[in-house]
Amino acid sequence: MSDDEVDYELLDLLRKSLGLGPPDPSAPPETKVLENAQFIYDNSIDVALDMHHTKAAAISILAQMKEREYSTKSWSAHALHPKAKDESTVNFIFTMDLLNFSFWSEKNEEERFSVKYGDESKSWTGYWSLVASLQRALDEDIPITTPTFWTDEEKCTEEVLRHVFRSDTEEEIPLLAERLQCLREAGEILEQEFDSSVLVLIEDAKGSAAGLVNLLADRFPCFRDEAIFERKKVRLLKRAQIFVADLWAAFDGEEFGKFNDMDKITMFADYRVPQMLHSLGCISYSPVLEKRIRGYGIIEPGHPWELQIRGCSIWAVELLRREILKLESDAKVNAVLLDFFLYDLAKEREKNGDEVIPHHRTRSIWY
């Protein structure tokens, strides 16, 4: 047994020996991400939150979200996102969020990895280069969103994946080998435990968003985004959570996107939204950390600085959400819509060439 797998029998034995009864199956599932984020915030010395800016941001963001009628429908409005309300979109989103990490480049806009796709052969970078590559592969009849394709070592080779993610510049997609490994692993686990079906995986969560996040983190090592901070295990689970959120948004909270506890999903600790939170003044960095970020220096995965940026960003969005509900108690705003809005706002500001602090540079498969 690999040390990744959880030995549920041993766990039960341990519970009994400690006099803890079996886990109460009726208790609603919890992901522990928000509680771990607060723990990180309470123990952070290089990242701080600012309530004055958070209150000001709440006023402006609430106004902008209402003005744009920002809702789950905004997800499908993006040109490249799939529109069909069926299993093909479920599989697309699962594939996308298996691979939804680390698009940042050290190169300039002309030389960085980018994908030409769609009308006028628009060039896509970052997250959108992933979505464009998947759409292009499907147009070329490559079954890139089919789990049984991922375990077929004859058909789904590194060369095929290199073709799927071919760039219109010299730079290839970052972490190509790791992306293939994620597909292989997920395909094998889906085959062993979920009849090679993402629908079966979703059904096993019984309508709970937190349950689905926990299922992904427990069963799929490539979704197990956690680390040790101040000698305590902290769960951040960015791609597991954004998978549930993308499903919820793509299906407008119905059918395969219907969950009874979406409020248990937090902001997704990536490298783009912290940048936006910083430019809103909601978070700030110690001089030594700010110097590293503005100097485009690498921060290793699991470094205390990285965990403080990620954990404090999750907590900052929670405080932002609470301030918005103080302004309007029935506002249709949860951490997911806030997060989506902040990401889209960051991309708009980037396109407008607005001056923002660079994002932090950590290369990993987690975000």
Residues in contact with ligand 56B by CB under 6 A are 74-75, 78, 100-101, 103-104, 126-127, 268, 270-273, 339-340, 343-344, 367
We find the least distance from the C-beta atom of residue 227 to ligand 56B, in angstroms, to be 16
- 150 or 271: CB nearest ligand 56B: 271
- 220 or 271: CB nearest ligand 56B: 271
Q: Is 83 exposed, middle or buried (0-12, 13-18, 19+ CB in 10 A)?
A: exposed
We find the least distance from the C-beta atom of residue 336 to ligand 56B, in angstroms, to be 9
Among 196, 174, 78, smallest CA distance to 135 is for 78
Per-residue tokens: 111: 């030389």
Residue 270 annotated among the catalytic residues of the structure: yes
- 53 or 238: CB nearest ligand 56B: 238
We find the least distance from the C-beta atom of residue 360 to ligand 56B, in angstroms, to be 11
Residue facing ligand 56B at closest CB distance: 126
Query: What SS3 state is found at 123?
Result: strand
Which one from 97, 225, 246, 270 is the annotated catalytic residue? 270
- 41 or 343: CB nearest ligand 56B: 343
If you count them, how many residues does the chain have? 367
177-185, long-range: CB < 8 A, 24+ apart: 178/365, 179/99, 179/365, 180/156, 181/222, 182/98, 182/99, 182/222, 182/365, 183/95, 183/98, 183/99, 183/150, 183/156, 184/150, 184/151, 184/156, 185/220, 185/221, 185/222
We find the least distance from the C-beta atom of residue 169 to ligand 56B, in angstroms, to be 15
**Which residues are bridge partners to 234 per DSSP?**
227
Pairing of strands 283-285, 115-116: unpaired
CB atoms within 10 A of CB 102: 20
- 70 or 194: CB nearest ligand 56B: 70
Give the separation between CA 366 and CA 115, rounded to whole angstroms: 22
Q: Which residues are catalytic?
A: 270
